[in-house]
């Protein structure tokens, strides 16, 4: 236990340093955590202490996996079904193009230019077709766009994009068995019953017991996460769906949402983003930069060229258009999940995995940096940046 505590203390100190640098440099905290994690991973590799970071330890994988689920759940909870109905055409068109354009483009580049075999090229296309719900929602929350129609549109398009990725991974590689049917059946059942069950718990217990709503959400996400893994799917997908199902319920209780955000952003997601950065193999990328540049450039060019005419139909402001496109061009959660699936099932090699994950994480950092630096549509914000977060922490402290 002493070793676990020491490693955890090191990572949270790194999270504090990341936050301080992000504040000083005026960039996203999530982005800075990825950058700091990459620097730490490279330094540890050069000093022959990479294993000391415990990146693949069970406790680290659990915390980062739960962080991804909670962040995805909170992102889904921002999407009120009534709002999404009014944006159905926008999120559907942009989300589908955001998936198909890089999937086809990166598959062809991997197969014809890089020279990978068919299965590895298909896996590459799937992994690089994603958008990063974790990064996008963290940025939306940090700047306050999650409260705007603009931000909700981006989150909805991200969901459609990543849904296409999950379906493609399942259709191309994952076996469709009775486990898949059971997982789908349970998910559909919960879509219709989860809201009344949650309302019952809130009505009878929420204000009489300690944090029962948080315990209920954690129990739900972990239970369905187990079922998703057992069926060959990914636990972040039901987390997003259930967040959308409970969006109206969460809207009625902002204090609970703030507590859940504090748990997620303060404890779990720093580990998630730092670990994602540390897993990038810089020596492998430096040794063969051509492959990395083809994959990363292929994703960016195909995403932006496919999305530009679509987003141009729904947004007239230039900053809004480019901010929308660049955030949709990010990748992290589903991209690394897809790459890890390919590595685990011998579809791609360790070297190919490093190239794909390197391109995925570069797409999480570079487009977001450019978007926030040059195209931030601050005119859409009704409040100063982060102003709404200050009373949140005071409210939580007063309740403890």
Per-residue pLDDT tens for 97-128? Answer: 999 999 999 999 999 999 999 999 999 999 99
247 pLDDT above the threshold of 90: no
DSSP secondary-structure letter at 52?
G
Strands (E), the chain: none
346 Rama class: left (phi>0) / alpha (psi -120 to 50) / beta: left
- Give the integer Cα–Cα distance in Å for 307 and 101: 8
Q: Can you give the pLDDT at residue 294?
A: 94
- For residue 117 the two structure tokens come to 């075999």
- Under the banding of pLDDT at 50, 70 and 90, the label for residue 209 is low
pLDDT in tens, 22-44: 888 877 787 788 889 989 999 99
- Give the integer Cα–Cα distance in Å for 310 and 326: 14
- Give the integer Cα–Cα distance in Å for 311 and 94: 7
Say what the pTM is: 0.77
- Give the integer Cα–Cα distance in Å for 298 and 364: 14
Q: What number of CA atoms fall less than 13 Å from residue 397's CA on the CB side?
A: 6
- Under the banding of pLDDT at 50, 70 and 90, the label for residue 257 is confident
pLDDT in tens, 293-313: 999 999 999 999 999 999 999
Angle at 76 between CA 73 and CA 77, to 5 degrees: 85
- Give the integer Cα–Cα distance in Å for 202 and 303: 42
Residues 61-69 have a mean pLDDT of 89
CATH number of 2-399: 1.20.1530.20
Tell me the torsion sign for CA atoms 29, 377, 68, 364. negative
Q: Evaluate whether 135 touches 30 at the Cβ level (below 8 Å).
A: yes
19 Rama class: left (phi>0) / alpha (psi -120 to 50) / beta: alpha
Q: Can you give the pLDDT at residue 14?
A: 95
- Give the integer Cα–Cα distance in Å for 98 and 131: 8
- Give the integer Cα–Cα distance in Å for 138 and 134: 6
Q: Evaluate whether 271 touches 104 at the Cβ level (below 8 Å).
A: no
């Amino acid at each position: 236990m002493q070793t676990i505590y020491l490693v955890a203390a090191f990572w949270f100190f790194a999270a504090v340093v990341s936050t301080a640098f992000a504040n000083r440099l005026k960039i996203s905290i999530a982005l800075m955590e990825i950058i700091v994690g990459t620097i730490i991973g490279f330094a540890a590799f050069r000093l022959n202490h990479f294993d000391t970071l415990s990146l693949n330890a069970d406790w680290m994988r659990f915390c980062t996996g739960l962080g991804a689920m909670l962040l995805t759940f909170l992102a889904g909870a921002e999407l009120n079904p009534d709002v999404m109905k009014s944006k159905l055409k926008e999120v559907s068109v942009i989300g589908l193009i955001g998936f198909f354009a890089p999937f086809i483009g990166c598959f062809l580049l991997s197969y014809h230019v890089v020279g990978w075999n068919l299965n590895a090229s298909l896996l590459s296309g799937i992994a690089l077709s994603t958008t990063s719900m974790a990064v996008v929602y963290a940025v939306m929350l940090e700047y306050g766009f999650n409260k705007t129609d603009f931000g909700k549109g981006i989150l909805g398009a991200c969901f459609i994009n990543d849904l296409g990725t999950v379906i493609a991974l399942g259709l191309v590689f994952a076996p469709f068995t009775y486990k898949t049917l059971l997982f789908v059946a349970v998910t559909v059942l919960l879509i219709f019953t989860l809201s009344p069950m949650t309302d019952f718990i809130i009505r009878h217990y929420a204000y009489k017991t300690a944090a029962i709503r948080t315990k209920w959400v954690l129990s739900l996400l972990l239970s369905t996460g187990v079922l998703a893994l057992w069926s060959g799917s990914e636990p972040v997908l039901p987390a997003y769906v259930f967040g959308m199902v409970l969006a109206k319920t969460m809207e009625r209780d902002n204090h609970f949402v703030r507590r859940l955000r504090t748990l997620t952003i303060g404890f779990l997601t720093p580990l998630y983003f730092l670990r994602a950065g540390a897993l990038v193999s810089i020596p492998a990328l430096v040794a063969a930069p051509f492959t990395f540049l083809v994959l990363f450039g292929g994703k960016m060019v195909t995403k932006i060229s496919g999305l530009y005419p679509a987003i141009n139909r729904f947004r007239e402001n230039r900053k809004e258009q480019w901010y929308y496109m660049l955030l949709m061009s990010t990748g992290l959660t589903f991209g690394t999940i897809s790459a890890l699936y390919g590595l685990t099932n011998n579809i791609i090699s360790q070297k190919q995995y490093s190239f794909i994950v390197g391109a995925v994480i570069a797409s999480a950092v570079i487009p977001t940096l450019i978007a926030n630096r040059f195209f931030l549509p601050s005119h859409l914000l009704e409040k100063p940046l982060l102003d709404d977060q200050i009373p949140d922490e005071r409210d939580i402290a007063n309740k403890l």
